[in-house]
Amino acid sequence: MQVDEKRYSQVIFQKQSGELVLTETGLQFGTWQISWTQLVKHQVSPASYPKALLKLVLQGETNATFQLSNRTDLEQIRKEISIHLQQRSKKRPHSEVAIVTYGAPLDATATAVTRASLLAAHPSLRQQHAYLVQETCTLTEDEFWETHQHLLQEEHARISGLAQAGRSSFMQSRLPTSGRITLGVEEMRQIFIMYPAVHKAYEEKVPLELSDEQFWRKYLESEYFHRDRGRLGTVARNHANGEETNNNKNGKKPSGPSMEEQDARAAAVGTDDFFSRYAQKLQQEQKPLDHTKVGRRLATGQFDLASTLETERGHLLQGPKDNHPSNVHDDEKGARVIAKYNRHWAMVLHPDDAVAGADLLNVARQSPLQVLPDDEDAKWGGGVHREMQRLVGFAEATEEEANHADGRKADDAYEPLSLKNVEAYYSFKQSGNNTTTETSEEANERYKVFANTILGNVNALVQELVADETKLTELPPTCFPPPKLGRELLSALTKKMAADARTDSASLAMVEQLPSEFREKLQIYFRRCSELLRHFFALRQMKNSGEKLARIVLGMETFYRELDTMRKSFPHTDAGNMMQKMCLPLMDQLDWAFKLHREGSGVGGGGGFVTVEEIY
């Protein structure tokens, strides 16, 4: 994309005139070399400034300012340096600009604010917090939050606007019009992309005319910023064609902007609004979209409206007219909003190409060239033939050929084995066997024997492998049972599981029968129980946590008793029995924790989470 060497003559640096050369490795002025790795960032003088200056900020806080002969050279060198810097930053795993480093400690105020906002946002968390910290004092405030560190960090990032770049399609650039505004790097980036006028103004005014902070202050105070946030009730005005519509007919007050917002707007009216001027300037510079240059294939298949409307005499094909007059009263506000959102999707879908001042329409135009799977389907009825073939194939297929999950005839005999279809998979092969002669008990006996044999074989094999690693490659052929036995065993297992399993709808129906009060309670108990257990297991791992652990265990015991009381209070009806049963798993979990605690108490931590041996 770029030439190996770019030369700029008549460049003045420290009163010496010379030639500035851009190479693959860096910049060169006379004998002075600057490699790309040394360069941190570059700035240029604003367009209104008479001299064309290029400032390079190098590592170690040193600067170098070059004066170029004219503006076009300056623009070009700026772009080229940007490209080099971009390439370099792409090589790094992440752009370092806007990523929050997790785990960095927050200061006291930030912590308090973040915690409060988290609690406000999550009702379940609030409930837990109230129960564990405030009511029962099982945990201290810090202990509670220790386990939610990740949430805290995320919330803090959200509040301070330091969201990770390109992570979400959420529009960061929409700032509130009143109250406290925090501008993060991501907001600024998005504002630049979404509002090219602001970017142009920034390029020309900062840092010579305005400082960074002054600039943003001006932006937030400007009418441009507020105008874009809309006024309520304009729909009414537009459609009444200037007549006052009667908003009060239902006795409602006309809804309008809040007082604060109105004040902010009133203040904005008088201020110098250079953004609007830039927007006008940009609009004048921008020629209307040149249709002759856009090329032929703009979209895939049926989505290519232009392929018809731009080639045939379009007015007959555009769809019936609605004859509605166009909106002339709202000074193109709707059009601006539409343009904004159409820039937004381009930015989200093409995050790499979306940079400040980029022509997003051009960026979007690249997309049809990037081929996605199933593009043929996107044609007008492109997949109809295939779809019909598929359906007919599925309808024609015999039981073993049919792929019920995808609704098609299986292309070949192979179908991935799963527990669900294992019956269909083997039944036709077994149908001729003499398995029917033996009774189910006999069969069960047989399976047991098989299972034991297999277990024995595998155990021996594992022992052997562990003992002698060199033997790893050669597995004795006898170590696994013959495939037929395995298959039988599997099908037996599946049968048993199928018999035991309930369908989702059955369990749903069962749950529906229970009183809603109980369901709510159970949910709360479940959360409490999980929270307590989490703390319990976490603390067990830590040393010097005896006191806390004891508190937790105490908390668990209280909870256990509470649960037990509730369980016993159920009537001895069907529903009651069911409810009793449903409490059991929670109690079992707690029991298990108590058992561990008893065994390991005094030791101050027994190996953490459940290990496999302990289960059996």
273 to 312, contacts with other proteins by CB under 8 A?
289, 291-312
Quick note: the x/- pattern for other proteins over 391-430, rule CB under 8 A, is xx-xxxx----x-xxxx-----------------------
Q: Which 163-222 positions form the footprint of other proteins (CB under 8 A)?
A: 169-171, 174
Specify the residue, 383 or 576, whose C-beta has the smaller distance to other proteins: 383
The 360-379 contact track toward other proteins, x by CB under 8 A, reads -x--xx-xxx-xx-xxxxxx
Q: Which of 180, 287, 324, 572 binds other proteins (CB under 8 A)?
A: 324
Handedness of CA 552, 555, 561, 562 (dihedral sign): negative
Instruction: List the one residue out of 312, 305, 108, 327 whose CA is nearest residue 235.
Output: 327
Q: Is 511 in the site for other proteins (CB under 8 A)?
A: no
Q: Which residue in 231, 527, 567, 597 binds other proteins (CB under 8 A)?
A: 231
Q: Is 161 in the site for other proteins (CB under 8 A)?
A: no
Angular region, 166: left φ>0, alpha ψ -120 to 50, beta rest: left
Residue 284 CB, shortest distance to other proteins, in Å, is: 14
Question: Exposed, middle or buried by CB within 10 Å (0-12, 13-18, 19+), for 497?
Answer: exposed
Q: Which of 142, 322, 468, 512 binds other proteins (CB under 8 A)?
A: 322
Binds other proteins (CB under 8 A): choice among 76, 164, 238, 545: 238
Which residues, numbered 326-345, are part of the site for other proteins (CB under 8 A)? 326-328, 330, 332-342, 344-345
CB of 332 to other proteins, least distance (A): 8
Closest to 136 measured CA to CA, from 558, 522, 533 = 558
* Binding segment (CB under 8 A) for other proteins, from list 1-9, 14-22, 52-60, 386-394: 386-394
Total number of residues binding other proteins (CB under 8 A)? 112
Query: Coil, helix or strand for 402?
Result: strand
Give the nearer residue to other proteins in terms of CB position, either 391 or 554: 391
Minimum gap (Å) between residue 333 Cβ and other proteins: 5
Question: What are the respective helix, strand and coil percentages of the chain, to the nearest 5?
Answer: 55, 5, 35
Strands (E), 486-531: none
Residue with smaller CB distance to other proteins, 321 or 543: 321
Question: How does DSSP classify residue 134?
Answer: I
Spatial distance between the Cα atoms of 359 and 198, rounded to a whole number of angstroms: 14
The mark string for 116-155 relative to other proteins (x by CB under 8 A, - otherwise) is ----------------------------------------
The full DSSP string for 324-384 is PPP--SSTTHHHHHHHHHHHHHHHHH-TTT--TT--HHHHHHTGGGS--TTGGGGSTTTTH
CA 434, chain centre distance (Å):
56
Task: Please say which residue, 266 or 554, places its beta carbon nearer to other proteins.
Answer: 266
Q: How far is the CB of 527 from other proteins (least distance, A)?
A: 24
Report d(CA 218, CA 272) in Å as an integer: 9
Give the shortest CB-159-to-other proteins separation in angstroms: 17
What are the helix (H) ranges across 207-258?
212-221, 223-227, 234-239
Is 230 a residue that touches other proteins (CB under 8 A)?
A: yes
Which of 384, 455, 475, 501 touches other proteins (CB under 8 A)? 384
Smallest CA-to-CA distance from 573 within 497, 527, 531, 514 is with 514
